[in-house]
Amino acid sequence: MNKALRKAVIAGNWKMNKTPAEARELLEAIKPLVKDADCDVIACVPFVDLDAALETVKGSNIAIGAENCHWEASGAYTGEISAPMLASMQVPYVIIGHSERRTYFGETDVTVNKRVRAALDNGLTVILCVGEYLEQREQGVTDEVVAMQTKIALMGVSAEELKRIIIAYEPVWAIGTGKTATAAQANEVCAMIRATVAGLYSKEDADALTIQYGGSMNAKNAEELLDQPDVDGGLIGGASLKPADFAEIVKAASR
- Rule CB under 6 A: which of 85-124 touch ligand 13P? 98
Out of 32, 156, 176, 229, point to the residue binding ligand 13P (CB under 6 A).
176
Contact present, 118 and 112 (Cβ < 8 Å): no
**Minimum CB–partner distance for residue 235 and ligand 13P (Å):** 4
Contact present, 7 and 216 (Cβ < 8 Å): no
- Of residues 70, 98, 100, 248, which has the active-site annotation? 98
13 binds ligand 13P (CB under 6 A): yes
Euclidean distance between CA atoms 86 and 80, whole angstroms = 11
Q: Which residue stretch of 84-92, 168-176, 223-231, 243-251 sits at the interface with ligand 13P (rule: CB under 6 A)? A: 168-176
Q: Which residue stretch of 33-41, 159-167, 202-210, 215-223 sits at the interface with ligand 13P (rule: CB under 6 A)? A: 215-223
Instruction: Collect contacts of 178-183 with beta carbons under 8 A, ≥24 apart.
Output: 178/216, 179/215, 179/216, 180/215, 180/216, 180/217, 180/218, 180/221, 180/225, 181/213, 181/215, 183/224, 183/225, 183/227, 183/228, 183/231
Provide the strand spans (E) within 146-209: 165-169
Residue 160 annotated as catalytic = no
- Of residues 67, 107, 132, 170, which has the active-site annotation? 170
Out of 27, 175, 189, 197, point to the residue binding ligand 13P (CB under 6 A).
175
- Closest residue by Cα to residue 212 from 38, 6, 46: 6
Residues 6 or more apart whose CB falls under 8 angstroms from that of 58 comprise: none
- Which residue, 96 or 236, is less far from ligand 13P as judged by CB? 236
- Which residue, 71 or 246, is less far from ligand 13P as judged by CB? 246
CA 189 to chain centroid: 15
42 binds ligand 13P (CB under 6 A): no
**Minimum CB–partner distance for residue 10 and ligand 13P (Å):** 11
214 binds ligand 13P (CB under 6 A): yes
236 binds ligand 13P (CB under 6 A): yes
Residue 28 annotated as catalytic = no
Contact present, 20 and 45 (Cβ < 8 Å): no
- Which residue, 84 or 253, is less far from ligand 13P as judged by CB? 253
Residues within the interface to ligand 13P (CB under 6 A): 13, 98, 170, 175-176, 214-217, 235-239
Catalytic residues: 98, 170
